[in-house]
Protein backbone atom coordinates (compact mmCIF):
# COMPACT_ATOMS: atom_id res chain seq x y z
CA UNK A 1 0.00 0.00 0.00
CA UNK A 2 1.07 3.62 -0.56
CA UNK A 3 2.67 5.25 2.43
CA UNK A 4 0.26 8.16 2.68
CA UNK A 5 -3.12 8.34 1.04
CA UNK A 6 -3.49 12.06 0.42
CA UNK A 7 -7.18 12.86 0.76
CA UNK A 8 -6.21 16.53 0.63
CA UNK A 9 -7.01 19.34 -1.83
CA UNK A 10 -3.36 19.11 -2.97
CA UNK A 11 -0.67 17.88 -2.68
CA UNK A 12 -1.71 14.67 -4.41
CA UNK A 13 -0.54 11.10 -4.82
CA UNK A 14 1.02 11.17 -8.27
CA UNK A 15 0.70 8.48 -10.95
CA UNK A 16 3.63 6.01 -11.09
CA UNK A 17 4.70 7.26 -14.53
CA UNK A 18 5.21 10.76 -13.10
CA UNK A 19 7.96 9.33 -10.89
CA UNK A 20 9.63 8.09 -14.06
CA UNK A 21 9.08 11.41 -15.86
CA UNK A 22 10.63 13.48 -13.08
CA UNK A 23 13.89 11.54 -13.34
CA UNK A 24 14.30 11.96 -17.10
CA UNK A 25 17.61 13.10 -18.61
CA UNK A 26 19.21 16.46 -17.91
CA UNK A 27 18.71 19.02 -20.63
CA UNK A 28 19.64 22.66 -21.04
CA UNK A 29 16.58 24.85 -20.91
CA UNK A 30 18.03 27.15 -23.56
CA UNK A 31 18.08 24.27 -26.07
CA UNK A 32 15.44 23.03 -28.45
CA UNK A 33 14.48 20.08 -26.18
CA UNK A 34 13.00 22.43 -23.61
CA UNK A 35 11.23 24.44 -26.28
CA UNK A 36 9.47 21.29 -27.46
CA UNK A 37 8.56 20.42 -23.89
CA UNK A 38 7.09 23.86 -23.12
CA UNK A 39 5.24 23.98 -26.43
CA UNK A 40 3.73 20.57 -25.71
CA UNK A 41 2.70 21.59 -22.17
CA UNK A 42 0.99 24.73 -23.44
CA UNK A 43 -1.01 22.85 -26.10
CA UNK A 44 -1.98 20.14 -23.62
CA UNK A 45 -2.99 22.63 -20.93
CA UNK A 46 -5.36 24.39 -23.31
CA UNK A 47 -6.77 21.00 -24.32
CA UNK A 48 -7.17 19.62 -20.77
CA UNK A 49 -8.74 22.86 -19.53
CA UNK A 50 -11.13 22.69 -22.51
CA UNK A 51 -10.41 26.29 -23.53
CA UNK A 52 -12.75 27.23 -26.37
CA UNK A 53 -11.07 28.95 -29.32
CA UNK A 54 -7.59 27.95 -28.06
CA UNK A 55 -6.07 29.98 -30.91
CA UNK A 56 -7.04 33.15 -28.98
CA UNK A 57 -5.46 32.08 -25.67
CA UNK A 58 -1.97 31.45 -24.34
CA UNK A 59 -0.80 29.52 -21.28
CA UNK A 60 2.45 30.44 -19.54
CA UNK A 61 4.13 28.24 -16.94
CA UNK A 62 5.84 29.67 -13.87
CA UNK A 63 8.26 27.90 -11.53
CA UNK A 64 6.57 28.48 -8.16
CA UNK A 65 3.40 27.22 -6.43
CA UNK A 66 -0.10 28.59 -7.17
CA UNK A 67 0.60 31.78 -5.24
CA UNK A 68 3.25 32.68 -7.83
CA UNK A 69 0.67 32.61 -10.64
CA UNK A 70 -1.74 34.72 -8.57
CA UNK A 71 0.98 37.19 -7.70
CA UNK A 72 2.09 37.47 -11.33
CA UNK A 73 -1.47 38.43 -12.31
CA UNK A 74 -2.03 40.85 -9.44
CA UNK A 75 1.33 42.56 -9.93
CA UNK A 76 1.17 42.77 -13.72
CA UNK A 77 -2.41 43.61 -14.68
CA UNK A 78 -3.43 46.61 -12.56
CA UNK A 79 -0.71 49.24 -13.10
CA UNK A 80 -1.80 52.34 -11.18
CA UNK A 81 -5.50 51.71 -11.76
CA UNK A 82 -8.13 50.42 -9.31
CA UNK A 83 -8.71 46.77 -8.45
CA UNK A 84 -11.59 45.29 -6.45
CA UNK A 85 -11.05 41.99 -4.62
CA UNK A 86 -14.10 39.87 -3.82
CA UNK A 87 -13.49 37.64 -0.82
CA UNK A 88 -15.51 35.04 1.06
CA UNK A 89 -12.72 33.03 2.60
CA UNK A 90 -9.05 32.45 3.30
CA UNK A 91 -7.86 32.50 -0.31
CA UNK A 92 -9.86 35.62 -1.19
CA UNK A 93 -8.14 37.18 1.81
CA UNK A 94 -4.77 36.18 0.38
CA UNK A 95 -5.59 37.85 -2.94
CA UNK A 96 -6.36 41.00 -1.00
CA UNK A 97 -3.09 40.87 0.97
CA UNK A 98 -1.11 40.25 -2.20
CA UNK A 99 -2.84 43.02 -4.12
CA UNK A 100 -2.16 45.51 -1.33
CA UNK A 101 1.57 44.79 -1.67
CA UNK A 102 1.53 45.66 -5.38
CA UNK A 103 -1.42 47.96 -5.93
CA UNK A 104 -2.05 51.16 -4.02
CA UNK A 105 -5.64 51.32 -5.25
CA UNK A 106 -6.88 48.02 -3.84
CA UNK A 107 -10.55 47.79 -2.85
CA UNK A 108 -12.15 44.92 -0.93
CA UNK A 109 -15.68 43.57 -0.72
CA UNK A 110 -15.92 40.92 1.96
CA UNK A 111 -18.63 38.32 2.44
CA UNK A 112 -18.98 35.77 5.23
CA UNK A 113 -16.82 32.66 4.86
CA UNK A 114 -18.73 29.81 3.26
CA UNK A 115 -21.51 32.04 1.89
CA UNK A 116 -22.19 32.99 -1.71
CA UNK A 117 -21.37 36.49 -2.97
CA UNK A 118 -24.12 39.09 -2.80
CA UNK A 119 -24.29 40.10 -6.48
CA UNK A 120 -26.33 43.24 -5.81
CA UNK A 121 -23.62 44.55 -3.50
CA UNK A 122 -20.98 43.90 -6.18
CA UNK A 123 -23.11 45.57 -8.83
CA UNK A 124 -23.67 48.60 -6.59
CA UNK A 125 -19.96 48.86 -5.76
CA UNK A 126 -19.01 48.77 -9.44
CA UNK A 127 -21.62 51.46 -10.15
CA UNK A 128 -20.41 53.75 -7.35
CA UNK A 129 -16.64 53.36 -7.79
CA UNK A 130 -14.37 53.58 -10.74
CA UNK A 131 -12.94 50.05 -10.80
CA UNK A 132 -10.72 48.72 -13.61
CA UNK A 133 -10.03 45.12 -12.52
CA UNK A 134 -12.04 42.61 -10.47
CA UNK A 135 -10.32 39.58 -8.89
CA UNK A 136 -11.87 36.61 -7.10
CA UNK A 137 -11.33 32.96 -6.21
CA UNK A 138 -13.33 30.40 -8.19
CA UNK A 139 -13.25 27.53 -5.72
CA UNK A 140 -12.77 28.97 -2.21
CA UNK A 141 -10.90 25.97 -0.84
CA UNK A 142 -11.37 26.85 2.86
CA UNK A 143 -15.11 26.08 2.61
CA UNK A 144 -15.04 23.98 -0.55
CA UNK A 145 -17.37 26.56 -2.09
CA UNK A 146 -17.61 27.24 -5.82
CA UNK A 147 -18.23 30.92 -6.53
CA UNK A 148 -20.20 31.72 -9.67
CA UNK A 149 -17.92 32.87 -12.50
CA UNK A 150 -20.87 33.35 -14.79
CA UNK A 151 -22.65 35.82 -12.48
CA UNK A 152 -19.60 37.90 -11.60
CA UNK A 153 -18.36 37.63 -15.19
CA UNK A 154 -21.64 39.15 -16.41
CA UNK A 155 -21.22 42.06 -13.97
CA UNK A 156 -17.66 42.71 -15.14
CA UNK A 157 -18.90 42.73 -18.72
CA UNK A 158 -21.70 45.14 -17.85
CA UNK A 159 -19.26 47.55 -16.16
CA UNK A 160 -16.47 47.14 -18.72
CA UNK A 161 -14.01 45.78 -16.13
CA UNK A 162 -11.10 43.34 -16.60
CA UNK A 163 -11.85 40.06 -14.80
CA UNK A 164 -9.12 37.84 -13.32
CA UNK A 165 -9.70 34.62 -11.38
CA UNK A 166 -7.76 32.37 -9.01
CA UNK A 167 -8.72 28.93 -10.33
CA UNK A 168 -5.89 27.17 -8.50
CA UNK A 169 -8.08 24.55 -6.85
CA UNK A 170 -10.76 24.24 -9.56
CA UNK A 171 -8.93 24.13 -12.91
CA UNK A 172 -8.89 20.58 -14.22
CA UNK A 173 -11.86 19.63 -12.03
CA UNK A 174 -14.48 22.12 -13.19
CA UNK A 175 -14.71 23.42 -16.74
CA UNK A 176 -13.93 27.13 -16.77
CA UNK A 177 -15.60 28.94 -19.65
CA UNK A 178 -13.20 31.85 -20.04
CA UNK A 179 -14.88 33.37 -23.08
CA UNK A 180 -18.42 33.11 -21.74
CA UNK A 181 -17.48 34.35 -18.27
CA UNK A 182 -15.47 37.30 -19.62
CA UNK A 183 -12.24 36.08 -17.93
CA UNK A 184 -9.03 37.82 -19.04
CA UNK A 185 -6.63 35.71 -16.95
CA UNK A 186 -6.97 32.65 -14.77
CA UNK A 187 -4.33 31.00 -12.61
CA UNK A 188 -3.80 27.42 -11.49
CA UNK A 189 -1.12 25.03 -10.30
CA UNK A 190 0.43 21.67 -11.08
CA UNK A 191 -0.38 20.01 -7.79
CA UNK A 192 -4.16 20.09 -7.52
CA UNK A 193 -6.70 18.66 -9.99
CA UNK A 194 -4.03 18.28 -12.70
CA UNK A 195 -2.39 15.74 -10.40
CA UNK A 196 1.33 16.51 -10.66
CA UNK A 197 4.04 17.49 -8.18
CA UNK A 198 3.90 20.87 -6.42
CA UNK A 199 6.18 23.60 -7.70
CA UNK A 200 4.74 24.82 -11.00
CA UNK A 201 1.85 27.12 -11.67
CA UNK A 202 0.38 28.60 -14.80
CA UNK A 203 -1.64 31.52 -16.11
CA UNK A 204 -4.02 31.16 -19.03
CA UNK A 205 -5.03 34.41 -20.69
CA UNK A 206 -6.48 35.90 -23.80
CA UNK A 207 -3.71 36.82 -26.25
CA UNK A 208 -5.15 40.33 -26.64
CA UNK A 209 -5.04 40.75 -22.82
CA UNK A 210 -1.40 39.60 -22.64
CA UNK A 211 -0.59 42.17 -25.35
CA UNK A 212 -2.14 44.95 -23.25
CA UNK A 213 0.37 44.26 -20.42
CA UNK A 214 3.27 45.47 -22.56
CA UNK A 215 2.95 49.12 -21.54
CA UNK A 216 2.38 48.54 -17.81
CA UNK A 217 5.61 49.08 -15.83
CA UNK A 218 6.82 45.91 -14.07
CA UNK A 219 6.38 45.70 -10.28
CA UNK A 220 8.37 42.49 -9.83
CA UNK A 221 11.22 41.04 -11.82
CA UNK A 222 10.50 37.31 -11.42
CA UNK A 223 6.72 37.37 -11.77
CA UNK A 224 6.36 39.84 -14.62
CA UNK A 225 3.51 38.21 -16.54
CA UNK A 226 4.27 40.07 -19.77
CA UNK A 227 7.82 38.68 -19.79
CA UNK A 228 6.49 35.11 -19.56
CA UNK A 229 4.21 35.83 -22.49
CA UNK A 230 6.97 37.48 -24.50
CA UNK A 231 9.30 34.51 -23.95
CA UNK A 232 6.75 31.83 -24.77
CA UNK A 233 5.53 33.65 -27.86
CA UNK A 234 8.95 34.42 -29.27
CA UNK A 235 10.99 31.33 -28.34
CA UNK A 236 9.04 28.84 -26.16
CA UNK A 237 11.20 29.56 -23.18
CA UNK A 238 10.83 31.08 -19.74
CA UNK A 239 12.50 34.34 -18.62
CA UNK A 240 14.52 32.58 -15.89
CA UNK A 241 15.74 29.05 -15.18
CA UNK A 242 12.71 26.73 -15.06
CA UNK A 243 12.45 23.63 -12.82
CA UNK A 244 12.87 21.44 -15.92
CA UNK A 245 12.12 18.11 -14.25
CA UNK A 246 8.85 19.39 -12.84
CA UNK A 247 7.96 20.36 -16.41
CA UNK A 248 8.55 16.74 -17.48
CA UNK A 249 6.23 15.56 -14.73
CA UNK A 250 3.56 18.15 -15.57
CA UNK A 251 3.64 17.10 -19.22
CA UNK A 252 3.18 13.47 -18.18
CA UNK A 253 0.23 14.37 -15.93
CA UNK A 254 -1.45 16.22 -18.81
CA UNK A 255 -0.73 13.32 -21.18
CA UNK A 256 -2.31 10.91 -18.69
CA UNK A 257 -5.51 12.99 -18.67
CA UNK A 258 -5.58 13.15 -22.48
CA UNK A 259 -4.94 9.39 -22.76
CA UNK A 260 -7.77 8.67 -20.36
CA UNK A 261 -10.01 11.08 -22.27
CA UNK A 262 -10.50 14.66 -21.10
CA UNK A 263 -14.26 14.27 -20.59
CA UNK A 264 -13.69 10.95 -18.86
CA UNK A 265 -11.25 12.71 -16.48
CA UNK A 266 -13.87 15.28 -15.47
CA UNK A 267 -16.64 12.74 -15.04
CA UNK A 268 -14.45 10.33 -13.09
CA UNK A 269 -13.59 13.12 -10.65
CA UNK A 270 -17.30 13.88 -10.19
CA UNK A 271 -18.07 10.19 -9.69
CA UNK A 272 -15.43 9.88 -6.99
CA UNK A 273 -16.71 12.99 -5.21
CA UNK A 274 -20.27 11.67 -5.34
CA UNK A 275 -19.24 8.28 -4.03
CA UNK A 276 -17.28 9.86 -1.18
CA UNK A 277 -20.17 12.17 -0.32
CA UNK A 278 -22.76 9.38 -0.32
CA UNK A 279 -20.49 7.32 1.94
CA UNK A 280 -20.10 10.23 4.38
CA UNK A 281 -23.86 10.82 4.44
CA UNK A 282 -24.38 7.11 5.10
CA UNK A 283 -22.23 7.51 8.22
CA UNK A 284 -24.69 10.16 9.43
CA UNK A 285 -22.31 13.06 8.76
CA UNK A 286 -23.40 16.48 7.51
CA UNK A 287 -21.73 18.94 5.15
CA UNK A 288 -20.83 22.60 5.71
CA UNK A 289 -22.44 23.73 2.45
CA UNK A 290 -24.97 22.42 -0.07
CA UNK A 291 -23.69 19.71 -2.39
CA UNK A 292 -24.66 21.76 -5.45
CA UNK A 293 -22.23 24.51 -4.34
CA UNK A 294 -19.27 22.14 -3.96
CA UNK A 295 -16.36 21.65 -6.34
CA UNK A 296 -15.79 18.05 -7.37
CA UNK A 297 -12.36 17.92 -5.70
CA UNK A 298 -13.26 18.48 -2.06
CA UNK A 299 -15.90 17.81 0.59
CA UNK A 300 -16.14 19.86 3.78
CA UNK A 301 -17.73 17.93 6.64
CA UNK A 302 -19.12 19.30 9.92
CA UNK A 303 -17.35 17.73 12.90
CA UNK A 304 -19.91 15.82 15.00
CA UNK A 305 -20.30 17.15 18.58
CA UNK A 306 -18.67 14.14 20.21
CA UNK A 307 -15.59 14.19 17.96
CA UNK A 308 -12.28 15.96 18.52
CA UNK A 309 -11.03 16.68 15.03
CA UNK A 310 -7.31 16.62 15.91
CA UNK A 311 -7.73 13.17 17.45
CA UNK A 312 -9.73 12.04 14.41
CA UNK A 313 -7.01 13.27 12.08
CA UNK A 314 -4.30 11.54 14.12
CA UNK A 315 -6.22 8.24 14.16
CA UNK A 316 -6.70 8.42 10.40
CA UNK A 317 -3.00 9.18 9.97
CA UNK A 318 -2.21 5.97 11.85
CA UNK A 319 -4.08 4.26 9.02
CA UNK A 320 -2.03 6.15 6.39
CA UNK A 321 -4.89 8.53 5.60
CA UNK A 322 -4.23 12.27 5.47
CA UNK A 323 -7.13 14.75 5.66
CA UNK A 324 -7.34 18.50 6.31
CA UNK A 325 -8.63 20.31 9.37
CA UNK A 326 -10.63 23.51 8.99
CA UNK A 327 -8.82 26.85 9.20
CA UNK A 328 -9.78 30.31 10.45
CA UNK A 329 -13.39 30.45 11.64
CA UNK A 330 -13.83 26.78 10.63
CA UNK A 331 -11.09 25.54 12.94
CA UNK A 332 -12.30 22.62 15.05
CA UNK A 333 -15.68 22.79 13.30
CA UNK A 334 -15.01 21.04 9.99
CA UNK A 335 -12.67 18.60 8.33
CA UNK A 336 -11.99 18.40 4.61
CA UNK A 337 -11.61 15.37 2.36
CA UNK A 338 -10.23 15.66 -1.15
CA UNK A 339 -10.53 13.16 -3.99
CA UNK A 340 -7.86 14.24 -6.49
CA UNK A 341 -4.68 12.54 -7.66
CA UNK A 342 -4.24 8.77 -7.64
CA UNK A 343 -7.12 8.07 -5.26
CA UNK A 344 -9.04 4.98 -6.38
CA UNK A 345 -12.55 3.80 -5.61
CA UNK A 346 -10.96 1.18 -3.34
CA UNK A 347 -9.02 3.89 -1.49
CA UNK A 348 -12.27 5.77 -0.92
CA UNK A 349 -13.90 2.62 0.44
CA UNK A 350 -10.90 2.03 2.71
CA UNK A 351 -11.15 5.62 3.96
CA UNK A 352 -14.90 5.30 4.66
CA UNK A 353 -14.37 2.03 6.54
CA UNK A 354 -11.60 3.51 8.68
CA UNK A 355 -13.65 6.61 9.37
CA UNK A 356 -16.64 4.50 10.38
CA UNK A 357 -14.55 2.51 12.84
CA UNK A 358 -13.09 5.67 14.39
CA UNK A 359 -16.50 7.34 14.68
CA UNK A 360 -17.93 4.24 16.37
CA UNK A 361 -15.08 4.40 18.89
CA UNK A 362 -15.81 8.06 19.56
CA UNK A 363 -19.47 7.20 20.18
CA UNK A 364 -18.55 4.32 22.48
CA UNK A 365 -16.20 6.57 24.48
CA UNK A 366 -18.89 9.22 24.60
CA UNK A 367 -21.45 6.68 25.85
CA UNK A 368 -19.06 5.45 28.56
CA UNK A 369 -18.34 8.99 29.69
CA UNK A 370 -22.01 9.84 29.73
CA UNK A 371 -22.72 6.77 31.83
CA UNK A 372 -19.95 7.74 34.25
CA UNK A 373 -21.34 11.27 34.49
CA UNK A 374 -24.82 9.96 35.19
CA UNK A 375 -23.51 7.65 37.90
CA UNK A 376 -21.66 10.57 39.44
CA UNK A 377 -24.81 12.65 39.37
CA UNK A 378 -26.77 9.88 41.05
CA UNK A 379 -24.05 9.51 43.67
CA UNK A 380 -23.75 13.23 44.27
CA UNK A 381 -27.45 13.66 44.83
CA UNK A 382 -27.55 10.58 47.05
CA UNK A 383 -24.75 11.77 49.29
CA UNK A 384 -23.82 15.46 49.53
CA UNK A 385 -21.00 17.97 49.53
CA UNK A 386 -18.13 16.00 51.14
CA UNK A 387 -18.42 13.38 48.38
CA UNK A 388 -18.13 15.98 45.61
CA UNK A 389 -15.05 17.39 47.29
CA UNK A 390 -13.54 13.92 47.22
CA UNK A 391 -14.08 13.64 43.47
CA UNK A 392 -12.56 17.04 42.93
CA UNK A 393 -9.37 15.75 44.59
C1 LIG B 1 -3.86 25.97 -3.09
C2 LIG B 1 -4.43 27.26 -3.45
C3 LIG B 1 -3.62 28.35 -3.81
C4 LIG B 1 -2.12 28.27 -3.89
O5 LIG B 1 -1.49 28.09 -2.69
P6 LIG B 1 0.05 27.66 -2.66
O7 LIG B 1 0.37 27.66 -1.21
O8 LIG B 1 0.82 28.63 -3.45
O9 LIG B 1 0.10 26.29 -3.27
C10 LIG B 1 -4.24 29.52 -4.21
N11 LIG B 1 -5.58 29.63 -4.24
C12 LIG B 1 -6.39 28.63 -3.88
C13 LIG B 1 -7.86 28.80 -3.97
C14 LIG B 1 -5.84 27.39 -3.47
O15 LIG B 1 -6.66 26.39 -3.12
To test ligand 1's pocket by mutation, which of 72, 90, 166 has the most ligand atoms within 8 angstroms of CB? 166
Interstrand relation of 334-338 and 324-325 (parallel, antiparallel or unpaired) = antiparallel
Ligand 1, residues at Cβ distance < 6 Å: 10, 65-67, 70, 91, 137, 141, 166, 168-169, 189
**Residue 359 — φ and ψ, nearest 5°?**
-65, -35
- Give residue 381's pLDDT: 53
Spacing, Cα 289 to ligand 1 middle (Å): 20
Q: Which atom of ligand 1 is nearest to the CA of 137?
A: 13
Q: Which atom of ligand 1 is nearest to the CA of 191?
A: 9
Spacing, Cα 372 to ligand 1 middle (Å): 46
Query: What does pLDDT average to in each consecutive run of 10 residues of the chain (393 residues)?
Result: 86 97 96 97 98 97 98 98 98 98 98 97 98 98 97 98 98 97 98 98 98 96 98 97 98 98 98 98 97 97 94 97 95 97 97 97 87 78 43 37
- Give residue 120's pLDDT: 98
Q: Cβ(279)–Cβ(337) under 8 Å?
A: no
Q: Cβ(213)–Cβ(73) under 8 Å?
A: no
Q: How far apart are CA 105 and CA 99, in angstroms?
A: 9
**Annotated binding residues, as ranges?**
336
- Give residue 300's pLDDT: 98
pTM (two decimals): 0.93
Cβ-proximal residues to 314 (8 Å cutoff; 6+ apart), any chain: none
Q: Which atom of ligand 1 is nearest to the CA of 192?
A: 1
**Domains (ranges, CATH) in the chain?**
16-260 (3.40.640.10), 262-377 (3.90.1150.10)
- Give residue 367's pLDDT: 85
Cβ-proximal residues to 224 (8 Å cutoff; 6+ apart), any chain: 72, 75, 76, 218, 239
Q: How far apart are CA 197 and CA 194, in angstroms?
A: 9
Spacing, Cα 67 to ligand 1 middle (Å): 6
How large is the C-alpha radius of gyration of the chain? 24
77-80: long-range contacts (C-beta < 8 A, 24 or more apart)? 77/133, 77/162, 77/164, 77/184, 77/185, 77/213, 77/216, 77/225, 78/102, 78/103, 78/105, 78/132, 78/133, 78/216, 79/216, 79/217, 80/104, 80/105
Q: How far apart are CA 175 and CA 47, in angstroms?
A: 11
Q: How far apart are CA 326 and CA 328, in angstroms?
A: 7
Amino acid sequence: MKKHLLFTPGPVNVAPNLRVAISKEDICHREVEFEHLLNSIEQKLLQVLKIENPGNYRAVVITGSGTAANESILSSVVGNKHILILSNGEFGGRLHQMSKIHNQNTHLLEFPWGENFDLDRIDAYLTQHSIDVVAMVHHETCAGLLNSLEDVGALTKKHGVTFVVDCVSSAGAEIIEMEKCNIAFMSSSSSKAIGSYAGLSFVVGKTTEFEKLKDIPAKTMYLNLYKFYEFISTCYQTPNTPAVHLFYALEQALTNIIDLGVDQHYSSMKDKANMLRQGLLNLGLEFLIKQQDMCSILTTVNVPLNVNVSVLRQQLREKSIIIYEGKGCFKGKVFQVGNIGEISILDIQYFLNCLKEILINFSATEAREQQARQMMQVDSTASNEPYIAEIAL
